[in-house]
Amino acid sequence: MVEPLKVGLAGLGTVGSAVVRMLANSRDLLALRAGRPIELAAFCSKDPPKDKGIDLGKARKVADPVALAKDSGIDVLVELMGGEGDPAKSTVEAALGMGRPVITANKALIAKHGVSLARLAEKNGATLAFEAAVAGGIPVIKTLREGLGGAKISRVYGILNGTCNYILTRMQKESRSFADCLKEAQRLGYAEADPTFDIGGFDTAHKIAILTSLAFGTEVDAEAVHVEGIETISLADLESADQLGYRVKLLGVAQRTETGIEQRVHPTMVPKGSVIAEVDGVLNAVAIDSDAADLTLVGPGAGGPATSSAVVADLVDLACGRRSPPFGRPAANLLKPKRAPMQRHEGGYYIRLAAVDRPGTMATIAKGMAGEKISLESIVQRHPGPRPHGGDDPKSAEGPAPVILITYATTEDAVRRALAAVEREGVLAEKPQVIRIEKS
């Protein structure tokens, strides 16, 4: 009889519990696909299982995750504790250091220490796999690492955080405020009590840093990612986007440019009708542009069932003996990334200004744009909104007039310099809102 692949599981949260359930419920199918049974042999968890209904069977409980990593009764360590530091880091290092394969869903760990862990794995002949670290159930890691052959990738981008996509979708479809939609996301379990990591764009930044390495053969360079969140997006922006033929999405983008690799996370306007624009709710989507084919992968980006399917897929590969370098090439052959500064980013921009309603304001705005040679595709000036306390004079009751500018392709620094010049003239009542427009 073929010996089973014995799994040591560190972490029994949402994903860990779902992995246990999938190993039990799909035991026969997994044995057929892997050519051998896959069974849970031991586990470690500081808390009770997230899913109270899972059956841990005869699996042994090990008190310490590092001890689990070194346990002679397991063949592979599955790390699902999370976090870029200990205990996850020391646990993974312990397993790789003795040549034991590691499978992880820990995006923070891979974004911060992925290259050094890959070196350690290769030094000791171990496998390091992390399909579940990016986009949950979407097999984007395998696609980038193995599925495109010799295709040269020019850009990888997409919706990589379901929490942000859910909030923006609800705001756009139901005309509800950011704060209201965030509270609903927290109530439904899509957002944490402290949602900063998600809505601030940092979760997406970790994921795009990993995808950048796989797409362009570079060392992971998470510190190079320009990060903006969705906190400043208003209903006015979503309504304007809709009228102009766009949807607003938080995108992670990695692009090969003449000046280097550009990595950025920010709210983005994408054309209605494009695949990315139509991905709503908690779904994720990843688009890959290459000289051979353009692909878009859509699916659930988080949650127990989706993420556990990616973890188990890595287990099946391991059981079958399928191995690839963690980042698609030996760690020694990963290139030092050449950073393209965000100031040189070139594309179209949406700019919303709160213009003071007085003669000459529009001329001042136009002069500021012309001074940086920024061509405008469209200008929309709306009626001023009411002031909160306007007094009896109808004129004084009017607030600033919203002005929407859509630019042709220009550079980031040109836009920033132009807006700074306009602000110095005292014709704006509040800080300008700038949203980049991404070609799809």
- Which residues are known catalytic residues? 207
Distance CA 309, CA 18 (A): 9
DSSP secondary structure letter of residue 145: I
User: Residue-wise over 9-22: b if at least 16 C-beta within 10 A, else e?
Assistant: bbbbbbbbbbbbbb
Using DSSP's 3-state secondary structure scheme, residue 41 falls into: strand
299, two tokens: 């699916």
By CB neighbour count within 10 A (0-12 exposed, 13-18 middle, 19+ buried), where does 425 fall?
middle
Instruction: Report phi then psi at 316, rounded to 5.
Output: -65, -45
Residue with tokens 């395998």: 142
| CB distance 365 to 427 below 8 Å | yes
Residue type at 76 in one-letter notation: V
> 329-335: long-range contacts (C-beta < 8 A, 24 or more apart)?
329/217, 330/122, 331/115, 331/118, 331/119, 331/122, 332/119, 333/217, 334/115, 334/213, 334/217, 334/218, 334/219, 335/216, 335/217, 335/218, 335/219
Dihedral over alpha carbons 226, 228, 229, 232 (to 10 degrees):
-170
Contacts of 257 (CB under 8 A, 6+ apart): 340, 344
Q: Which one, of 102, 141, 126, lies nearest residue 220 by Cα?
A: 141
Contacts of 28 (CB under 8 A, 6+ apart): none
Residue type at 257 in one-letter notation: T
Q: Which one, of 377, 66, 124, 353, lies nearest residue 237 by Cα?
A: 353
Contacts of 171 (CB under 8 A, 6+ apart): 177, 178, 181, 233, 235, 238
